[in-house]
Chains A and B, each alone.
Chain A
Amino acid sequence: MILTINKTNPLLEVKGLKKYFDVRNPLGRMEAQVKAINDVSFQLYEGETFGLVGESGCGKSTIGRTLLRLIDPTEGEAIYQNKDIFKLSKKELRNVRQQLQMVFQDPYSSLNPRKRVGSILEEPLKIHRIGTKEERTERVMDILDKVGLRIDHYFRFPHEFSGGQRQRIGLARALIVNPNVVICDEPVSALDVSIQSQIINLLRRLQEEMKLSYLFIAHDISVIRHISDRIGVMYLGKIVEEAPTDSLFSDPLHPYTQALLSAVPLPQPKDKRERIILEGEMPSPMNPPSGCIFHTRCRYVMDICKRQVPVRKEMSTSHFVSCHLH
Chain B
Amino acid sequence: MVDQPLLRIKELRTHFHTERGRVTAVDGITLHVEEREILGVVGESGCGKSVTSQSILRLFDEKRTVKYEGEIHFKSKNLLKISNANMQKIRGNDIAMIFQDPLSSLNPVYTIGYQITESIMLHQKLQKKKAYEKAVEMLRLTGIPAPEKRVNDYPHELSGGMRQRAMIAMALACQPRLLIADEPTTALDVTIQAQILDLINRLNQELNMSVIFITHDLGVIAEICTRVVVMYLGQIVEEADVEKLFSNPLHPYTKGLMKSIPQIDGDRSQALHVIEGTVPSLHDVPNGCRFASRCPYASDLCRAKMPELKIVKTGQKVRCWHYEEILEKEEVDV
Contacts and interface: CB of A to CB of B under 8 A. Distances in A.
Contacts of A204: 271
A278 B189 CA distance: 12
A194 B258 contact: no
Interface string B190-210: 111111011000000000000
B44 A281 contact: no
A197 interface: yes
A245 B272 contact: no
B268 A226 contact: yes
Contact of B278 (A164, A225, A275): A164
Nearest to A194: B275
B219 A266 contact: yes
Candidate in A197, A275, A277 with the most chain B CB atoms within 10 angstroms: A197
A318 interface: no
Interface stretch (A96-104, A131-139, A257-265): A257-265
Interface string A12-52: 00000000000000000000000000000000000000000
Nearest to B241: A269
A268 interface: yes
A264 B264 contact: yes
B28 interface: no
Q: Which of the four size classes fits the interface of chain B?
A: 35 or more
Contact of A226 (B44, B190, B193, B266): B266
A153 to B, nearest CB: 14
A130 to B, nearest CB: 31
A228 to B, nearest CB: 9
Interface stretch (A80-88, A114-122, A215-223): A215-223
Given A265-B220, A267-B218, A277 B243 contact: no
A280 B268 CA distance: 33
B307 to A, nearest CB: 20
Interface in A241-275: 245, 249, 259-270, 275
B114 interface: no
Counting chain A residues whose Cβ lies within 8 A of the other chain, the interface size class is 35 or more
A261 B219 CA distance: 13
Contacts of B223: 265-266, 269
A267 B262 contact: no
Interface in A150-208: 162-165, 192-198, 200-201, 204-205
A48 to B, nearest CB: 13
B273 interface: yes
B246 interface: yes
Q: Which residue, of A196, A204, A223, has the highest number of chain B Cβ atoms within 10 A?
A: A196
A245 B194 contact: no
B222 A195 contact: no
A240 to B, nearest CB: 14
B261 A267 contact: yes
B269 interface: yes
Contacts of A266: 219, 222-223, 264
Given A226-B262, A245-B268, A265-B223, A193 B216 contact: yes
A325 interface: no
A42 B268 CA distance: 23
B159 interface: yes
A269 B278 contact: no
A278 B191 contact: yes
Contact of B197 (A193, A196, A265): A265
A77 interface: no
B48 to A, nearest CB: 14
A290 interface: no
B212 to A, nearest CB: 18
Nearest to A198: B274
B45 interface: yes
Contacts of A56: 160, 189
A223 B191 contact: no
A1 interface: yes
A137 B266 CA distance: 41
Contact of A55 (B191, B222, B273): B191
A164 B162 CA distance: 32
Given A197-B273, A222-B264, A226-B272, A267 B258 contact: yes
Contact of A223 (B217, B221, B262): B262
Nearest to B281: A162
B105 interface: no
Contacts of B219: 264-267
Given A196-B260, A225-B262, A269 B222 contact: yes
Contacts of A270: 243, 246-247
Contacts of B190: 55, 219, 221, 260, 263-265
B92 interface: no
Contacts of B271: 201, 204-205
B220 A269 contact: no
A68 B132 CA distance: 51
B257 interface: yes
A175 B264 CA distance: 29
A162 B274 contact: no
B81 to A, nearest CB: 35
B44 A265 contact: no
A264 B222 CA distance: 11
B142 to A, nearest CB: 14
B189 A193 contact: no
B268 to A, nearest CB: 6
B102 interface: no
- In the A-B complex, list the 4 residue pairs whose CB atoms are closest, starting with the nearest: A265-B219, A226-B262, A55-B189, A197-B260
Given A194-B260, A200-B272, 8 more contacts: A196-B261, A200-B262, A249-B264, A263-B193, A263-B194, A277-B198, A278-B194, A280-B145
Interface of A: 1, 55-56, 162-165, 192-198, 200-201, 204-205, 219, 221-223, 225-226, 245, 249, 259-270, 275, 277-278, 280-281
19 contacts: A55-B189, A56-B160, A56-B189, A193-B218, A197-B272, A197-B273, A201-B272, A204-B271, A226-B266, A226-B268, A261-B264, A263-B191, A265-B190, A266-B264, A267-B263, A268-B246, A269-B222, A277-B194, A277-B198
